[in-house]
Amino acid sequence: MKIRRLIIAAVSLILLAAQSVNAESVIRITCVGDSNTKAGYPALLEEALGEGWKTINCGMGAATVIEGTLRPFHKIPEYEKAIQSNPDIVIIMLGTNDANPRWWDDPERKTPFQGSAAEEFMAGYLKLIDTFQALPSRPQIFVATPLPVFPEAEKREHMKAERIGRRDNLVRHIIPIIEKIAEDPEITLIDIQSAMAGQQKNCRDGVHYNNIGKKMMADVFANSIQQHASKRVK
């Protein structure tokens, strides 16, 4: 009986050790973003990458970098979830909601930042990156240009002007800022804006993508990670 108990205990220890090794060998990808992240690509990205990869969805609709909006990312629960996720890789895709003329073009927007919307966006984005880079897990940072906005895909006439303004703010201001940030050799750029160009048929209202668009998005992210990830599945 004593020998049997010892055998059972030894087997249990071996199984626990194997589980621990397996947990440590899984590469954790934290996906930070807005509605196209929350209801979009992370689960499909995990599926595309296969065994050994795990995605953590930290997206929230209306999320922004700048303050004085509905949901500044650093003030919502998803921010803390991302910080606590022990990531090996972080993908940041923010900016689509910042580009909304309601926020970007409003000189009276309530924010503690002293400066232009562009200056605030850059400062906030860099601070977000710094916060992740300072985590004990020392994650690799991927930054994605925001997805294309297609005003022609918006069926509601009263929303078309907003979509045009959002698109123009992205192209003229936000995307160049993200590209500038990605000049840092420790940061990898994913140009999802270019990869999804011409996909208005898969964008139901000019901003939010359908299931086909989400799958395309996930494949773009998967390809970039497979090419540039410093950690590999063993």
Residue 21 has pLDDT above 50, yes or no: no
Stretch (H or E) spanning 28: strand 27-33
pLDDT beyond 60 at 13: no
Write the pLDDT tens digit of every residue in 122-150: 999 999 999 999 999 999 999 999 999 99
Task: Say how far apart CA 41 and CA 59 lie, in whole Å.
Answer: 10
Q: What is the CA radius of gyration of the chain?
A: 20
pLDDT of 10 > 70? The answer is no
- Going from the C-alpha of 233 to that of each of 170, 205, 230, the distances in angstroms are 35, 38, 10
Q: Choose among 186, 226, 188: nearest CA to 27.
A: 226
Mean pLDDT of the chain: 91
Token code pair at residue 60:
């929230």
Q: How is 38-106 classified by DSSP, letter by letter?
A: HTTSHHHHHHHH-TTEEEEEEE-TTEESSSSSSEEGGGSHHHHHHHTT--SEEEEE--TTTTSHHHHT-
pLDDT in tens, 57-110: 999 999 999 999 999 999 999 999 999 999 999 999 999 999 999 999 999 999
pLDDT at position 195 = 98
- Homologous superfamily of 26-228: SGNH hydrolase (3.40.50.1110)
Q: Are 151 and 167 in contact (CB under 8 A)?
A: yes
